Chain A
Amino acid sequence: MPDLLLSLILTAAIAAADFLTAGKDGGDAKAEKRLTWFSVPVYAFVIFADIVLGLGVQLDLGPKLAELLGPWMKIG
């Protein structure tokens, strides 16, 4: 996502909506807590990736992953 500001707004809005609605549908409080602890690092990673990609860094890990998988894994 090359547009840094917009992608950060999108991530923040979705994260906020997620946290604000947590536990509102009568779920188990312990389970909700566990899910929150899972989602915090995921959101942190997404924000970090937003910033890196937004600053114009091109990671292009697909071809590197393909190289790692090796040509014998090429099926299609």
Chain B
Amino acid sequence: MEKRKTTGRKISSVIALQTIGSSLVISSIGPAMQDSWIVVIIAVGLSILLAWMYGALLKLYPDRGFLQIFQEVFGNTAGKAICGIYAAYAVFAGAQTFYIYNEFIKIVGLNETPQVAILMVSLPLIIWQVRSGPDNIGSCSKFLLPIALIFVGLTFLLGIPFMDADNLKPVLGSGPTALVHGTFSTLVAPFGETVLAVPFFGVADRNIKPLRVMVKGILIGGAVLLTATLRNLMILGAPTCRLFLFVSYDAVGIISIGDFVSRISVLIGINLVLSGIVRIDVSLYAASLSVSEALGTRGSTRPAACCGLLMVVLGYILYNNMLSAVDFIPYIPAIGIPFQFIFPLIALITGRIKSTRRKKQAGNGAGERQQCRENTEN
């Protein structure tokens, strides 16, 4: 269905903004407390391994999309079933983001406005964006990413007078268990959620290298997360950070230089809303593509409309209020593990075995043909 090919730069921007948008959903200050910035660095390193796994899978079947590979490896029925489960995961991930996104706008800016009014503006636009194709999402991300980077850099620089480097001490004081715990949860969400952006490679230029594109996106997103984590930690301190729902927004809210630079937290609000939209876009695109693969209608983004509505409704079915959504956040990584690690790993191993067997058979076939030719010549 897609006519235009998406470039690697656009996909990198999508991955970076998807990672940045995670700070809307998941607080960057985890169980590792003041060592959370170290956790981000380790998680970025480990997520490159994940990207390698997805890249190797895409390289194994260069003419197939990520979801089509499951059908190729596991057979038609099992592959379609996995696509269906992936659709459910993408809808769930999107529902979580959509709910918190709406609550964020309501809590921070529009207290009296009915949430459905916000949805009436945002949902049709998000559906249109996804139905216009991944290239459109990529173009939007490519434009929005520099804005996000400038805002994060600016808030870091303006926050320097309010920072206290002692808030990072004692370095590695949180202990190895908290460090491992924090690294694992940061690896699974947000970095592992790159899996939802992998279907973008199905409509990408043949010449691009998926691993390089993913690593670029992860590194940009990781650098922003690291900057934001350091800024939040140094301004508020780890124990205070854990008291806030939207840490970045509240940390930057402290910054005020004279009468001129104040209420600068609006920049963070804009950042979270923009990257939140890209995050919802990615989930919705993955969900609609998975549904169309499961139904055997390759590449259609038409299910975006019903999947988008399902995401919104699911958010309200799952949570009564923002606090119940926040309480569920620790369970998100556990739900993501099969989709981020297990299915792709099994597909990679099975795919490798199948391709080795195919090569051997091709080699044997060539040998037999050679022998036949020699016998007839003799």
Contacts and interface: CB of A to CB of B under 8 A. Distances in A.
Given A38-B306, A46-B310, A76-B329, A10 B123 contact: yes
Contacts of A59: 316-318
A53 B316 contact: yes
Contacts of B45: none
A75 B317 contact: no
Nearest to B291: A38
Nearest to A49: B313
Nearest to B308: A14
A39 B318 contact: no
A55 interface: no
Contacts of A49: 313, 316-317
Interface stretch (B55-63, B149-157, B320-328): B320-328
A32 B297 CA distance: 8
The CB with the most chain B CB atoms within 10 A, among A1, A42, A62, A65, is that of A62
Contact of A17 (B292, B300, B305, B331): B305
Contacts of B38: none
A15 B330 CA distance: 34
Of the four ranges (under 10, 10 to 19, 20 to 34, 35 or more), the interface on chain B belongs to 35 or more
A28 B188 CA distance: 38
A74 B302 CA distance: 35
B296 interface: yes
Given A6-B117, A60-B324, A66-B331, A76 B26 contact: yes
A39 B334 CA distance: 29
Interface string B222-233: 000000000000
Nearest to A22: B302
B333 A75 contact: yes
Interface string B278-320: 0000000000000110011110101101111110110011111
Given A46-B310, A60-B324, A74 B334 contact: yes
B332 interface: yes
A43 B309 contact: yes
B309 A14 contact: yes
Contact of B124 (A14, A46, A75): A14
12 contacts: A2-B114, A3-B116, A27-B300, A35-B300, A39-B302, A39-B303, A63-B328, A65-B331, A69-B335, A74-B330, A76-B185, A76-B329
Interface of B: 1, 26, 30-31, 114-117, 119-120, 123-124, 127, 181, 184-185, 188-189, 291-292, 295-298, 300, 302-303, 305-310, 312-313, 316-320, 324-325, 327-335
Interface of A: 1-3, 6-7, 10-11, 13-15, 17-18, 22, 25, 27-28, 31-32, 34-35, 38-39, 42-43, 45-46, 49-50, 53, 58-63, 65-66, 69, 73-76
